[in-house]
Homo-oligomer: A and B are copies of this chain.
């Protein structure tokens, strides 16, 4: 089993399960959050939040790993991103319609805080710096989706899969060897192709010695070559 993301990263006053974002809060505000949140532990595979349900709380992932995805047509999904601790999860529903617009499922056992939405909004109103940092995070997520839209529609399969693997490297693990948190099927959902095609592209990558998959681990052998494949589409 992997040791990634198993230890709590931060200890905010009176609360061990809050994202870095919450360090912009003063003790009074933190206490308000503390008094209006609950913590829930999820097992790998469990659904943390389901697309379409009412958003009564915002989420903060304290430990574990999760996938965040859009439920599309006829059961097909598009994975938007991997959620690692400590991450705050809100989404466009906070301001638009108080609904969740994606589903989040635990990939590893995960500890998640649910913070009352009204209280959270109240704090956003009270604390300008916090609000701006929150919006900055949200905007970064939006840019990720812009980027994904481009690469999923303008690149061919090898380029898309290379981007998926580079994403895991650059954004999630920051090292060439990391646990296979996603099945072939999930990798196909991250790169918009069929499961079988994902298998074939990964086989080709391994044949060309770009990476190695064994014992529940993926090891990137030639990151530069992957970046080249990403670039030429």
Contact = CB atoms under 8 A, between A and B. Distances in A.
A135 B135 CA distance: 9
- Give the 9 A-B residue pairs with the shortest CB-CB distance, closest first: A92-B139, A96-B139, A95-B135, A72-B150, A153-B192, A92-B142, A95-B139, A73-B154, A95-B136
A135 B72 CA distance: 25
A125 B96 CA distance: 19
Contacts of A135: 95, 135
A176 interface: no
Contacts of A74: 233
Contacts of A73: 150-151, 154-155, 233
Contacts of A152: 149, 152-153
A152 B143 CA distance: 17
Interface residues of A, number: 35
Contacts of A154: 72-73, 76, 78, 192
A95 B149 contact: no
Contacts of A143: 92, 96, 101
A138 interface: yes
Contacts of A72: 150, 153-154
A135 B139 CA distance: 11
- Interface secondary structure of A, over-half rule: helix
A140 interface: yes
A143 B138 CA distance: 13
Given A76-B154, A78-B154, A154-B78, A145 B139 contact: no
Nearest to A72: B150
A120 to B, nearest CB: 13
26 contacts: A70-B146, A70-B150, A72-B150, A72-B153, A72-B154, A73-B151, A73-B155, A73-B233, A74-B233, A76-B154, A78-B154, A92-B139, A92-B142, A92-B146, A93-B139, A95-B132, A95-B139, A96-B136, A96-B143, A101-B146, A102-B146, A148-B149, A149-B149, A149-B152, A152-B152, A153-B153
